[in-house]
Amino acid sequence: MGYEKERRIAELAVQRATLLTKKVFHEKAKGELAKDDKSPVTKGDFGAQALIIQAIAHNFPNDEIVGEEESSELRQDTALRSEIWDLVKDIKLNDSASDALLGGPLPSEEAMLDIIDKGNSPGGPKGRIWALDPIDGTKGFLRGGQYAVCLGLIVDGDVKVGVIGCPNLPVDDATSLSADIGGNQSDEEGKGVLFSAVQGEGAISRPLTSGGLAPSNPISMRPVPDTSKAVFCEGVEAGHSNQGDNAAVAKRLGITAPSVRLDSQAKYCSIARGAGDIYLRLPVRKDYQEKIWDHAAGDLLVREAGGQVTDIYGKRLDFSKGRTLIENKGVVAAPAALQDQVIEAVQVVLNLK
């Protein structure tokens, strides 16, 4: 219990960082950048990481941070670095009291690089550790589709707070399921959704804004009478989860509805609000270790919305082992009442039993 300050700071930090990523996303969408230019995602990633770590370091100076990015590339590339600095120094929430909570402007480009490198914690079983993915769903971002800004607080190995900004998801939690849930949901004015959860206190969503926090609504997973009525949410990239195995699991469960495909932790968010029911991430490569920043916030959000999240063996995701989920393989997230049946089907399809 508690963690209200952590939730508020995390929500505001993610909201502010999302503004930066949206600026770059829309420059790209309007064709102002070369089509094969990889720099938009790089700019968004580094800029958002700097802004979020600044807010954490200002409010919780003793906490550690596991961030996806580190600054060595920027220390080599002065042109890219100054483009990112131009973005970072100008981003403010349109509400001075909220902005002040996140700390004053960073003093210099050098300070920005140092802040980015505070994301170098090795993680582990003890203490307060934030897991940060400044742009999750890189491929979705580049494609003009779904991406997410994700931040989770892990305390002694347990996720206590999870916050996810999804600038391209529809604001209304009741929006019906749609296979076409790409970047066409986005606009520059400030649509999109901010999701959050605190352990033991449920999950909420609120519209993303460019100022202070908007009013929130509780969210929960859809009641699904039996597995055949469920809808899958799954990734877009065939290299990240095994779509053939997913289809075989769906068949075993009697599911006929087409899967909703979207990038990033927007999948966890969608099932947590009832826009889809089951998220499967079945391994493609045996040796791939999932990263904690790709799952910490989404894991808590779904569990607080009435779901269960495990790996393909039915084991809870273990965030106490460092920067990766070394003790887990794949992800299976479903309404709590269906989880055992889904795991059973996964294990049959993967020949685990």
Ligand X SMILES: Nc1ncnc2c1ncn2[C@@H]1O[C@H](COP(=O)(O)OS(=O)(=O)O)[C@@H](OP(=O)(O)O)[C@H]1O
- The answer to whether 237 contacts ligand X (rule: CB under 6 A) is yes
d(CA 64, CA 129): 5
Any binding-site annotation on 69?
no
- The answer to whether 264 contacts ligand X (rule: CB under 6 A) is yes
Q: Which of 18, 138, 209, 227 is catalytic?
A: 138
d(CA 168, CA 145): 7
Q: 175: Cβ–Cβ under 8 A, 6 or more apart, which residues?
A: 275
Residues 176-235 that bind ligand X (CB under 6 A): 235
Matching residue, tokens 């049946």: 341
Residues 277-306 that bind ligand X (CB under 6 A): 284-285, 288, 291, 294
Phi, psi of 158 (to 5 degrees): -115, 135
- The answer to whether 241 contacts ligand X (rule: CB under 6 A) is yes
- The answer to whether 236 contacts ligand X (rule: CB under 6 A) is yes
Beta carbon nearer to Mg ion, 300 or 343: 300
Any binding-site annotation on 318?
no
Beta carbon nearer to ligand X, 96 or 184: 184
SS3 of 211-256: CCCCCCEEECCCCCCCHHHCCEEECCCCCCCCHHHHHHHHHHCCCC
Q: What is the DSSP string of 287-345?
A: TPPPBGGGTHHHHHHHHHTTEEEE-TTSPBP-TTSSSB-TT--SEEEEEGGGHHHHHHH
Any binding-site annotation on 156?
no
- Whether 45 is a known active-site residue: answer yes
Which residue number is nearest to Mg ion in terms of Cβ?
136
Q: How far is the CB of 263 from ligand X (least distance, A)?
A: 4
Any binding-site annotation on 68?
yes
CA contacts within 13 A on the Cβ side of 242: 18
Total binding residues toward Mg ion, as defined by CB under 5 A: 3
Q: Which of 83, 133, 277, 304 is close enough to bind ligand X by CB under 6 A?
A: 133
User: What residues line the site for ligand X (CB under 6 A)?
Assistant: 133, 136-139, 235-237, 239-241, 263-264, 284-285, 288, 291, 294
User: What residues line the site for Mg ion (CB under 5 A)?
Assistant: 133, 136, 294
Residues known to be catalytic? 45, 138
- Residues annotated in a binding site: 68, 133, 135-136, 294
